[in-house]
Structure 1
């Protein structure tokens, strides 16, 4: 991980802490207990709840890579089944249960304090999901603080990533097709249904990537596509740098040191590969 930028290094460590809410059984069970049956109702309710009882429009814009019809199937209908306040509590309870088990024996107090300091310094201008989560009240328990801070930071970074995609002219469907192209065409059967795009929409997006020279005849990424990836990820990192600059290099390195064993345990609960592109982390001390 030493070859990663500081921003990407920290993302790889706080993202697993947040992502348990999407993949861990206890987290999914908390949404079912709250009255939401099915993965996607819990996903859209929990992630959208900081915005309030919104319809599909703002979520289509903020989530970016999902097919609009997939979002519209969940919103605003989900708010007839649960309130945003109850959805926020369900995601807190589920994440807390999951991390409490996964991190049994680990003291997260110092990591939570440092991650909170970073999260409290985010610039929310132009970052809808980051701002909505940052506006929520802070919990008191260190484990809840750890998860909430990770959530603010990951949505803040994600908002910046959307801005980078927009600047590069990569649309929602294209962002998924491009990801598969970067994997030499592997993974369409996973990413396409996970984001709700039809075959026609996917193929049209692939044609657009070919037209701009980002995909070859076999649907694999060209050199230009890899250059585009570097540009977009560089912009994403730059836009995510603020919290770590505010925290300072020494405290950031200390935060990374403390987060690593936490992230390893949380990562074990995630599906690999996963739609968020998060890699698995090696166990500390493993060669």
Structure 2
């Protein structure tokens, strides 16, 4: 039996793919390579940190939360000797436009979706939300595709910043949050998650020990009832912190936006499979809650 997704989570499932083309779509990755950045992680760190300026590793470890400091330190600040933040911003927007073009081809209502997404993103409060605030401060593109992408990016960073605040309240550090998420997935995905965030085996196992000591995992590393209860509370808090854009848009226009975005998100997800959605377990509205 599936559980009906909240409005906030349903919309996340629709705008997250719009943002993700920057990192996972061939066109998005090609744009970074054309700008002089070879390798997935150079494009990722340049594209995601560029709104913050030529920043060093410490604030990025704090803002990204789940990445091992050593992994961030390998990318920054050396990355800024290869590209300027302005060039990285231009590359990510160019790649996003190219990636989204086939996803919207032949569909009606993209201009309307852009207007609704922009209105929702403009309503997203940014106090205490570093990545959302940095992206919200950027000038808006003058075209519908660019607006769709930028609005989706503001909204996903807005939700993400709120999610990290909820993790902080739960008392989970970056490594613990990753180990916990894998445990909640019955241990599946450790290899991908650990590699994607740069934690060593020693760091991962130490985090698992701390979670066991606090009652989140049993002696075999399996998520306990306390862990599942905390997960549901955390997700509810994340939804609450992500609610304001949809409250501002109102139920009818939020549902209209969901209708417009569904075929676009479906095309993106189909085109990027099996690489995305990945171990983050992005919920798909047609499949119920994750």
TM range (shorter): over 0.9
* More deviation, 208-217/75-84: 208-217
After superposition, the Cα gap between the structure-2 partners of 1:183 and 1:156, relative to the gap in structure 1 and judged at 3 Å, is: same
Query: 1:19 maps to which residue?
Result: 20
Q: Does 1:162 align with 2:161?
A: no
RMSD (CA atoms) = 1.5
After superposition, the Cα gap between the structure-2 partners of 1:102 and 1:5, relative to the gap in structure 1 and judged at 3 Å, is: same
Contact 2:22–2:29 (CA<8 Å) still a contact in 1? yes
Task: Give CA deviations for 1:152-204 in whole Å, capped at 9, x if unaligned.
Answer: 00000000001000000011001110011001111111100110000000000
Query: 1:53 maps to which residue?
Result: 54
- Secondary structure at the residue paired with 1:268? helix
Contact 1:183–1:220 (CA<8 Å) still a contact in 2? no
- What stretches of structure 1 of length at least 5 have no aligned partner? none
* More deviation, 261-270/75-84: 261-270
Query: 2:123 maps to which residue?
Result: 121
From 221, 234, 237, the equivalent of 1:235 is 237
Query: 1:147 maps to which residue?
Result: 149
Query: 2:83 maps to which residue?
Result: 82
Question: Cα offset for 1:273?
Answer: 4.8
Query: 1:253 maps to which residue?
Result: 255
After superposition, the Cα gap between the structure-2 partners of 1:178 and 1:18, relative to the gap in structure 1 and judged at 3 Å, is: same
C-alpha separation in 2, matches of 1:209 and 1:276: 20
Q: Does 1:198 align with 2:203?
A: no
TM-score by length of 1: 0.95
C-alpha separation in 1, matches of 2:213 and 2:159: 29
C-alpha separation in 1, matches of 2:277 and 2:254: 27
After superposition, the Cα gap between the structure-2 partners of 1:262 and 1:124, relative to the gap in structure 1 and judged at 3 Å, is: same
Question: Cα offset for 1:219?
Answer: 1.5
Contact 1:184–1:219 (CA<8 Å) still a contact in 2? no
Q: Aligned runs of 1:96-115 on 2, under 5 Å?
A: 96-107=97-108, 108-115=110-117
After superposition, the Cα gap between the structure-2 partners of 1:96 and 1:2, relative to the gap in structure 1 and judged at 3 Å, is: farther
Query: 1:184 maps to which residue?
Result: 186
Question: Cα offset for 1:100?
Answer: 0.5
Task: Give CA deviations for 1:69-115 in whole Å, capped at 9, x if unaligned.
Answer: 10011011111000000000100111110111222112311111101
C-alpha separation in 2, matches of 1:275 and 1:184: 12
C-alpha separation in 2, matches of 1:144 and 1:273: 22
- What stretches of structure 2 of length at least 5 have no aligned partner? none
State how many pairs are aligned. Answer: 283
Contact 2:132–2:154 (CA<8 Å) still a contact in 1? yes
C-alpha separation in 2, matches of 1:116 and 1:20: 18
